[in-house]
Structure 1
């Protein structure tokens, strides 16, 4: 039997296995085998990026829109909050400005009210307004004298209010003032410190006997009006009492007027039948120890004139007190406090020299001007003193200078001439010129 030959076996690659049946497999070349080996060693390629689908894109857009809307919403909330805070701030600012305007208006109203009240107070302090509120109080004991009708009729003619009532001091005339009504309190009556005690000559003589016995001591005091006067002064330490002694007869005036300069004082005293030394002792005691002044008057007409004079003086006192009180005690307003301006040319030195002389007591502007007109500077006056032959001539150097002004011309006089001499020549800084 013939020997069977074995067929050559072929290695079939994967590619050949995948070939469709019925197709002849081509022999694998070396190149293809190399490529297949390399392909098995290399990593698989990365998958290609696939574009998102429309649905995914829509979902992404919706998320981004939602975040944008949330952000915009938060911004709008912040803007609204900021605007709200700004409106509140503006409202508070308007309220503050309104309160400030109201405060300024209230301050202005209060200032106007204070000015009005101050003007009313000043108006009430004027003498003519004071006389509308003052009342003259007359003690009933004075009505025992029939001549007291002169005082009552005069007060009625002047349309001044008067009242007859008991007073702490007998035989007295006093004054009271009604203060204006206020909201907190009603009208208030204030007693003035001035009091007049009117006595006759006989009553004054009894008072003198009481005073002399009190001064001697050891004797029982006589019964007189001096006791109620002392008791009143002890109770009212601030009262100013003036004693009016009436009942004197008018004296006939003889000779020149210069011989009777003190006639009103001499005539009533001379009719008391007492020595002048006794009267002077009593007057000094009343003045020094009791602060009581004594006036000797002829009758009720002079008493009435004295009452009217005191009433007018009291009516002027409040307004003058208001004008005389400065804001600062050491800084007085007015021309005198302002001094005199002196320029470089020397203008004003003459006025300074006049002011220097005027600083002396009882020296008026006219008297100082007379001195400075005669001697334009202190140097001229010192040269005139040096030319004088004696100190007596120096002291009387200015005595004959004429003072022009007033009703009539007069001389400087030796008293002022002597004081100016001491002012200009004294070497003692502690010397009292007056």
Structure 2
């Protein structure tokens, strides 16, 4: 009996030495290996001397083997060192509200940052658009583009005069727009400008040219002289009365009377003061009275007189005024800036200085050109003699007297157009005062 009980116990607690793991059916928890030292109890075979029972086949022995399983340990949360962590504390309502408030603040901060970035992007886009429009506007204000917007208005009465075809031929050769129509002031030439940036609006320029002959001017002078003395001379001349009415309607108009001198009527030239002598002989007036007439027209009526030799002179005058009007918008645009002399151009950004120092000599030359009446040729001569301001200051310090320092640069030779001249004491003294004076309010000129 003792041997049989021992045999049953050995079969029951025999631990399999096989490395294969046998899953336990209907067990949701995973099988855990026992890390303790395995102990195998050897099997004992009991039998009689006469009848020995055969040994169990290997398959039966494998089936009879059972694997001992241990219950899984309770799952506990452990800390980094293997120590079980304490139970998580439940948050209070105030803490939850505080976390929600912080999350809301972070969300609002992200939205504000996003809105600020979008606004910055929009402002940058608007600034780029503004710059493009400004560049386009500056481009339209260039003289070559403004010429295309100007139209010369010619009164039909002028075409009846001999030589007026010279004016029309010149305007056609320049491909300038002109229009022959009746003007408010007879025998006049006016200008009108088309504004593309303002819906192609047409505006009239202030300049007006009144073209009259020599005989008409001889009638105009006594009438103006009588008007200057307090009388009424408007009825004595056919040009004075319309001129005064025209100026009364628009006081901003600037009228220039072009007097065409006919060499067939007068053999003398109009160079110098010869026209005054001719006036004095033709009108029986002395030169002082003639001067009073001209001054009265210019000061009180804003009317100036120009004496020309035929229609070629009139044509040259019209061309000069047209070119001046084409440059006017660009000049007005530059004068509106804070620093009118710093306009956009190839030199607006100054000279570029590289890391190796190249370009400093050009900066030194531009610094000298900021002084009045210092041309690029003069600046180049000074920079060739003294390659930096420090060298010029050292040269000043070596001289003992003030007079020697002022005329230090006076003897430098300037070569222009094959001719040589010296800088002179005036520019030399101005440069010396500019670089050595301690008075910021000093007037150099």
What TM-score, normalized to structure 1?
0.56
1:238 corresponds to which residue? Answer: 252
> How far apart are 1:321 and its partner, in Å?
3.3
Whole-Å separation in 2 of the counterparts to 1:225 and 1:403 = 54
Describe the SS at the equivalent of 2:252: coil
Describe the SS at the equivalent of 1:243: strand
2:193 corresponds to which residue? Answer: 177
Whole-Å separation in 1 of the counterparts to 2:423 and 2:300 = 38
Higher helix proportion, which one? 1
1:138 corresponds to which residue? Answer: 154
Give the conservation status (yes or no) of the 8 Å contact 1:127–1:319.
yes
Give the conservation status (yes or no) of the 8 Å contact 2:155–2:187.
yes
| Higher Cα Rg, which structure | 1
1:345 corresponds to which residue? Answer: none
Verify: 1:213 aligned to 2:206, yes or no. Answer: no
Where do residues 6-405 of structure 1 align in structure 2 (5 Å cutoff)? 75=91, 84-182=100-198, 186-218=199-231, 220-221=233-234, 222-249=236-263, 263-266=270-273, 272=279, 273-274=281-282, 276-327=287-338, 379-380=403-404, 405=416
1:37 corresponds to which residue? Answer: none
Whole-Å separation in 2 of the counterparts to 1:236 and 1:325 = 26
2:72 corresponds to which residue? Answer: none
Give the conservation status (yes or no) of the 8 Å contact 2:270–2:307.
no
Query: How has the CA–CA distance of structure 1 residues 215 and 79 changed in structure 2, closer, same or farther, with 3 Å as cutoff?
Result: closer
Whole-Å separation in 1 of the counterparts to 2:230 and 2:109 = 86
1:54 corresponds to which residue? Answer: none
> How far apart are 1:126 and its partner, in Å?
0.8
> How far apart are 1:317 and its partner, in Å?
2.4
Query: How has the CA–CA distance of structure 1 residues 284 and 333 changed in structure 2, closer, same or farther, with 3 Å as cutoff?
Result: same
Give the conservation status (yes or no) of the 8 Å contact 1:250–1:267.
no
Whole-Å separation in 1 of the counterparts to 2:290 and 2:246 = 23
Whole-Å separation in 1 of the counterparts to 2:251 and 2:326 = 22
> How far apart are 1:233 and its partner, in Å?
2.2
Give the conservation status (yes or no) of the 8 Å contact 2:189–2:210.
yes
Whole-Å separation in 2 of the counterparts to 1:407 and 1:268 = 40
Whole-Å separation in 1 of the counterparts to 2:98 and 2:119 = 31
Whole-Å separation in 2 of the counterparts to 1:117 and 1:127 = 18
Give the conservation status (yes or no) of the 8 Å contact 2:213–2:260.
yes
Give the conservation status (yes or no) of the 8 Å contact 1:250–1:298.
no
Describe the SS at the equivalent of 1:327: coil
> How far apart are 1:380 and its partner, in Å?
4.5
Whole-Å separation in 2 of the counterparts to 1:407 and 1:310 = 35
Query: How has the CA–CA distance of structure 1 residues 299 and 145 changed in structure 2, closer, same or farther, with 3 Å as cutoff?
Result: same
- Over residues 82-139 of structure 1, what are the superposed CA-to-partner deviations in whole Å (9 max), with x where a residue is unaligned? 5654554343333222211221111011101111111112111111011111111112
5+ residue gaps, structure 1? 1-71, 254-259, 339-350, 384-397, 421-433
> How far apart are 1:210 and its partner, in Å?
0.8
2:59 corresponds to which residue? Answer: none
Query: How has the CA–CA distance of structure 1 residues 234 and 129 changed in structure 2, closer, same or farther, with 3 Å as cutoff?
Result: same
> How far apart are 1:244 and its partner, in Å?
0.5
- Over residues 129-155 of structure 1, what are the superposed CA-to-partner deviations in whole Å (9 max), with x where a residue is unaligned? 111111111122222224222112211
Query: How has the CA–CA distance of structure 1 residues 380 and 94 changed in structure 2, closer, same or farther, with 3 Å as cutoff?
Result: closer
- Over residues 143-200 of structure 1, what are the superposed CA-to-partner deviations in whole Å (9 max), with x where a residue is unaligned? 2224222112211111111112333322211212111245xxx332222222211111
Whole-Å separation in 1 of the counterparts to 2:237 and 2:418 = 51
5+ residue gaps, structure 2? 1-87, 351-364, 386-398, 431-444
Whole-Å separation in 2 of the counterparts to 1:368 and 1:101 = 49
> How far apart are 1:332 and its partner, in Å?
8.0
